[in-house]
Structure formats: structure tokens, C-alpha cells
Amino acid sequence: MNVLLIYPKFPDTFWSFKHALKFIHKKASSPPLGLLTIASMLPSDWHLKLVDMNVTPLKKKDLGWADYAFISAMTVQRESVLEVINLCNEAGVKTVCGGPLFSTEPQAFSGIDHLVLNEAEITLPMFLEDFVKNQLKPLYTTEKFADMKKTPPPMWDLVNFKDYASVSIQYTRGCPFNCEFCNITSMLGHKMRLKTASQILVELDGLYQRGWHGGIFFVDDNLIGNKKALREELLPALVDWRKGKSGIAFNTEVSINLADDNELMSLMVKAGFNMVFIGIETPDDDNLAECSKFQNRNRDLAADVRRIQSAGMQVQGGFIVGFDNDSPSTFQRLVDFIQNTGIVTAMVGILQAPVGTRLYERMQKAGRIIADFTGDNVAGSTNIIPKMNVNLLTNRYKELIRHIYSPEVYYQRVKTFLTDYRLPKIKPDISFSKIWQDLGAFVQSIFKLGIFGKERKQYWGLIFWTLFKKPKLFPLAITFSIYGYHYRKVSETHI
């Protein structure tokens, strides 16, 4: 049995890092964790091949080799998914589809032979059992949640790490909170389900032994959803595992209440975490109440951000405009918050209603759903009818994005962050390949940003400011400069 694992292409968004990846000669941000985990669940005598369309195009010879195509995708990959399904149909290759996009919108696609939905630890064995019996059904689904202690390590051998800037692993599923616009709990539940620390170490060993000495992203939707297990089991294990290893740094997603726990922040930094993404959404308390983001209410959010960054973890922030309580003054308040806190990577999107969320149900009852959910939160559009005039909303949104990623504003935000940031102790990777990669990125940044770029004045200002005031943070300053170039290209081209 020849199985082609296909990961459709991502559009050019802030999160694609398409323009930044060129500086380090990488093709994609990270390998498809879900498909690599699925690969480990398939029969050992099946022949497997991965085509990540973000790295290499899907070719006719790939489809000619395959008996089945296993396709997994997120909502933002919808356009590429439709193309892949058509190509498989034309080639006569049977399709097996799963992942977040298909699990939330199974009725939206035609031409699919088999849907294996929800969590594959439960539904894939059902499919495989029927495959042996030659009694395959068109749909496999479940309302149960998987025991992650039975989840196997990803099949890393299917990827070429040289193509990627980072890799991903997963420790938990679920989230204890209930934000109205988020579909995580509808897909994965409120109860936190965890792998054991031993499972995570096996996965990390697999990566390190294969030569991966770079960044690792814990894709958990809220890593601190079970603080007790994190504090007592995983983090101490990571502290021990990292001893003597170079280049390894972790990043993840957390809720803002991390700022309340100095001990946990300190332990995370000691374990190698140097960056966290937080859904801040809005500094307006009425809007937080509107979307049931209760964990963010009645707090000094700016002080929380500074506390986390001072502990040694860069905060990447997610923000939303287009709430019913928003007004024209909302946009400037959001800009001020982002600038004053030094959140370098500020992902601002217009409110959308994902299928399966309480927001979608509320908007549907009110007759305010007008389009499909795109999954691209920086597309400058929405699938709901906003209370604010839609033209005013979209125009102010575009102005906001282009403003915060303009060279003057962006580089000032970088300086604000670097001023208060405490660099964590992470043993650098001093291999020849890493030094060569970093040197090449620096040289490219000089030419592309410092000589020919619109930001050349700000670029050189940051270079000299960092060298004199924060010399240990010089590599990070170059990284931010490259990221800023990517964000500006996306904002100018697509927003």
C-alpha cells in the first residue's frame, strides 16, 4: 500500500514568515505535525511519502505512485485543499481527509472518498479495521476525546529538517477557558489532556538525535492549562534534558494569567522557553466581557505583559477589532497598548466567527453570518455583519496594520522591548552550519534592509543602539529586523 501524505499550501500571511524565511534559506516554518503523527499510526508495512506543498509542489508522479492520499489541513489552507482534492480525483487516487478544516466543515467538500474526523487516535483505528475487512465507510467520527498517553511520536524520518526554520511538538490538548470566538474547546474540550513527560522526552530525543538543534514550538493552545503537571512533571524534565544541549529553545501559547505566577515563569525560562503567544484580544474591558474572555478582565494587561517579558519570555500578542462595543477610538487605544508594551509581534485581526463556536451560533441566530470562515485573521475581512460600519471597520483596520508595521513605529517598538527584556540563558548552537546561516542572514539584512530597504534609517539606528546599549541582544535585533521586513511586505501586499 502506497500512501501519500499531503499537506496543502498556506497563503502568504503574517504567520507564514515567507519573506523572512528567505534570509535563512528555509522553505517553510515547520513540518506538519499532525500528518507526521498519523504516519506513526499507520501499518508498518505500508509505504509512506510526505509532500508538504509549502516545501515542494505536488507532482503527477507523486499521485501516480500513490494508492491513497491522506490530506490534513487547517481552515486557512482551504483554497489549496480544493486544488489537491481535484488533482487526486483527476489522477484516480482515493482520498482520506481529516484535521481541523474537515472536522469543523465536513459538509463543505465534495470528491472525498473517506472522512476520518476528530481525533485520529480514536477514528483512524476504526478506518484501518474496516480497511482490513474491505468494508470502508465514507465517514468516521467520534464525540470522545483521545487518551494522549497513547499518542505515538511523530515520524520525523519523513521530513528533511533543512527545509524548516522550526519544528513542533504537542504536550496537551484542550483549554479550561471558554472564549466565545474560539473553536478549540468545541474540537478538543475543556478538560486538559496530557502526554507524560517521558513521552515528550522521547520525542525530543528523536529530534535531537536526527540533528535538530533549533527552536521547538509546543503547539498546545494553552500550555499552562494544567499548571500542576507542568510545574511538577514537564518543566523539571525539560531542565534536565537540556543540560549539555546547544541551540534548543522552546516557545508556546499561554493565557495571560501566567503573569501571576513568578515561580512558574522562572521555571519555564530555566526549562528553555523564551517566547509565548498570548491572546490579549483587546485592552477594553467591555469587549472582553462581550467575548467571554474573563481570564483577561480586571487586570492590568500592560503590566502583565511587561512582567512576562522581564522574566525572559518575549510576548507575541493576538488582538481583535470589530467587537460590537468597538468605536472609532478603539483603534488608537490598541495602537497605544501595543507600542507601550513593546509587543514586537502583534497579530491584529478583524473578528470572525469560526464554525462550531458560540459566537457563530449567536451570529447565525441574529442573521449576521454572511460568508465562510477563512481562518486568516489578518485578511482584513470578516464573515459576520459588524455593528460598526463595515467600510469604516476595514479601513481603520488596514490603517492600523500598516501603521504598526511601518518602519518608524515597528523599530521603536523593538527598542521598547529590548530595553526591558532579560535574555535567558540558552546555550547557543555554535556549529558551522548555524554560524554560516546566521552570518548569511545578517549580510542579506544589510543589503536588503540597510542599503536598499525603506527601513534603512531605522535599521542602522537599531544596529548601533543595540551594539552600544544591549550588545548581548544584537542577534535578536537582527531577527526582529528581518521579521519586520516580512510583516511590512504582507501588510503592504495583502492588507
- Span 345-401, pLDDT tens digits: 999 999 999 999 999 999 999 999 999 898 886 778 899 999 999 999 999 999 999
- Using the predicted structure, report yes or no on whether residue 431 has a pLDDT greater than 80: no
Residue type, 64: G
- Using the predicted structure, report yes or no on whether residue 430 has a pLDDT greater than 70: no
Euclidean distance between CA atoms 220 and 238, whole angstroms: 16
Query: Which among 394, 362, 389, 390 is positioned nearest to 378, based on CA atoms?
Result: 394
Q: How far apart are the first and last CA of the chain?
A: 45
In this structure, of 13-27, 159-173, 213-227, the range with the lowest mean pLDDT score is: 13-27
Note whether 47 and 192 are same-domain residues. no
In this structure, of 132-136, 384-388, 433-437, the range with the lowest mean pLDDT score is: 433-437
% of the chain at pLDDT higher than 90: 90
Which strands make up the sheet holding 346-350, listed edge to edge? 167-169, 215-218, 249-254, 273-281, 314-321, 346-350
Sign, Cα dihedral of 80, 86, 90, 95:
positive
Residue 314, all three cell numbers: 518575549
Note whether 215 and 77 are same-domain residues. no
For 106, other C-beta atoms within 10 Å of its C-beta total 16
Note whether 310 and 202 are same-domain residues. yes
* Dihedral angle of Cα 325, 327, 333, 338, to the nearest 10 degrees: 70
**331 assigned to some structural domain:** yes
Note whether 111 and 170 are same-domain residues. no
Q: At 123, which CATH number?
A: 3.40.50.280
Contact 184, 177 (CB under 8 A): no
How do residues 258-272 score in pLDDT, each as one tens digit? 999 999 999 999 999
CB burial readout 316-353, b (16+ within 10 A) else e: bbbbbbbbebbeeebbeebbebbbebbbbbbbbbbbbb
**430 assigned to some structural domain:** no
**160 assigned to some structural domain:** no
Query: Which residue, chain included where needed, has cell 511601518?
Result: 406
Contact 181, 363 (CB under 8 A): no
Tally of structural domains, the chain: 2
Note whether 121 and 173 are same-domain residues. no
Note whether 127 and 207 are same-domain residues. no
Domain around 252: 166-420
How do residues 144-202 score in pLDDT, each as one tens digit? 999 999 999 999 999 999 999 999 999 999 999 999 999 998 899 999 999 999 999 99
Euclidean distance between CA atoms 356 and 60, whole angstroms: 36
Note whether 85 and 231 are same-domain residues. no
What residues pair up with 346 in beta bridges, in sequence order?
317
Last residue of a domain, one of 388, 420, 452: 420
Euclidean distance between CA atoms 268 and 231, whole angstroms: 9
Three-state DSSP state, 437: helix
pTM for this prediction: 0.95
- Using the predicted structure, report yes or no on whether residue 456 has a pLDDT greater than 80: yes
Note whether 255 and 311 are same-domain residues. yes
Assign 424 a pLDDT band (cuts: 50, 70, 90): confident
**426 assigned to some structural domain:** no
For 72, other C-beta atoms within 10 Å of its C-beta total 27
* 387 torsion bin: left (phi>0), alpha (psi -120 to 50), beta (else): alpha
